Amino acid sequence: MLDLTPRDGVAQRHALVINPAKTCQPVGAVYAALGVHRCMPHSHGSQGCVAFHRMYLTRHFKEPAMASTSAFTEGASVFGGGANLKTAIRNVFDLYDPDVMAIHTTCLSETIGDDLHSYLSDIEVPEGKHVIYCSTPSYVGSHIWGFASMTEGFVKQAAQKSGVATGRLALFPGFVNPGDMREYKRLMGQFGIRYTMLPDTSGVFDAPMTGTFELYPKGGTRFEDIVRLGDAAHSIALGEAASERPASQLQRDHRVSSEVMGLPIGVVATDVFVSALSRFSGEPVPYAIEEERGQVVDIMLDAQQYFKSRRVAIYGDPDTVLGIASLCLELGMVPSMMVTGSPMPTFQARASALLDGYGLADQCWAQDKADLFELHQRIIQGPVDLLVGGTHGKQIARAEDIPFVRAGFPIMDRYVHSYMPLVGYRGAMRLIELMSNALMDRQDRDCSDEDFEMVM
């Protein structure tokens, strides 16, 4: 397995990516659009493009990811896709009757220079229907960029200010699973906060089996609530890479104050989020939430001997990597490698700030725009005790015989993960369980018979 990875140093590459730790922008754009109620994502490109975007999401969530396409042929590729888009808008509203079409571009439409703004100014949209668009060329950025672009597009093109305050909190959740979004909503509900979360894929990518197929599940952010975002009292962006742009757009356009914070993974980051909710609501932290925090701390104390000084390599989306690294530091672990394929100029600085607090800044390699081939080379040079990330790292774990915890996106070879939160105190409990079980299973596998204990 991965026998051809060089074992005598880290090869320097400047124009080649091997085993990327990301996917393309439109995947994130489709995910964001499907977090809006009765929204049909639309890929302005070829049929092959949208097939890939849908497949990627479907394999992670084990749920159908619906999207339409402009179905470029050779003619559209040469002369432009304006006619295709006009026909597509008419057909999608006639056949599928969404409330919203959310159009994103692809490599092909961006390369030939299609101007969505110009096209849409000449296309008639049915009364009572809406079209949102964003630019998502696949050859730059990542799925995180596409997610941010689509969310920003909804804010920029739909949010309005009526002058009648809603008193609501606008929450931009970051690129997380439906289980995480349900956890956000549960925590806000504990404070009695009225909110609009954009996007909200709970009830969409974790919809129940009813025996009847629904093209538009019951979940998702209502478009009328997006329109009222301009009247929100405050906004919170969770995850700088995925959520800062829509929050900044809302602040620029409608003067809605905003806070940007990391994903609430682990105790410290969740404390920051919970404190922000308490300030917004004007209510003290409910005992039920304090109880959960105390339970996490108790679990950390109980299992600390299995985590102390263990070296861990973490890869995936930048916000998720930083969040998991924060929890690992709280557990006494050393996140010696932190890798994301997404471009994030502040990634190294954020990682250094985390590590500085624990005196470990010189013991970690953190890099954005990196790939799993380089991560593998560095693991060969400096072995780790645990590997944490999406499915694509399983070959590295097998090749180097490293305990492996699947967390983040994408996870294509396991089930249930998208229903279970990583955020909040409950999410911390789950991550601690996954990591401690992986390390303890390795201990059981490798120990001698006399040390094969029934009680740890």
Q: Give the model confidence (pLDDT) of 6-63 as tens digits.
A: 888 887 787 889 999 999 999 999 999 999 999 999 999 999 999 999 999 999 999 9
Provide CATH 3.40.50.1980 ranges for the chain.
25-141, 169-288, 299-449
Q: 322 and 350 in contact (C-beta within 8 Å)?
A: yes
Sheet with 334-339, side-by-side order of all strands? 365-367, 334-339, 311-315, 386-389, 404-406
Between vectors from CA 314 to CA 312 and to CA 318, what angle results, nearest 5°?
150
Range of lowest pLDDT (268-277, 287-296, 304-313, 360-369): 360-369
CA distance 212 to 150: 29
Q: Does domain 169-288 have CATH number 3.40.50.2300?
A: no
What pLDDT band is residue 133 in, cutting at 50, 70 and 90? very high
Query: pLDDT for 216-257, tens place per residue?
Result: 999 999 999 999 999 999 999 999 999 999 999 999 999 999
Write the single-letter amino acid at 104: H
CA distance 208 to 231: 33
pLDDT value of residue 312: 98
pLDDT for 112 beyond 70 = yes
Q: Which CATH number fits domain 299-449: 3.40.50.300, 3.40.50.450, 3.20.20.150, 3.40.50.1980?
A: 3.40.50.1980
pLDDT value of residue 269: 98
pLDDT value of residue 456: 64
Topology of the domain comprising 25-141: Rossmann fold (3.40.50)
Smallest CA-to-CA distance from 250 within 188, 170, 144, 132 is with 170
pLDDT for 1 beyond 80 = no
How many CB atoms neighbour CB 7 within 10 A?
10
Q: 108 and 46 in contact (C-beta within 8 Å)?
A: yes
What pLDDT band is residue 142 in, cutting at 50, 70 and 90? very high
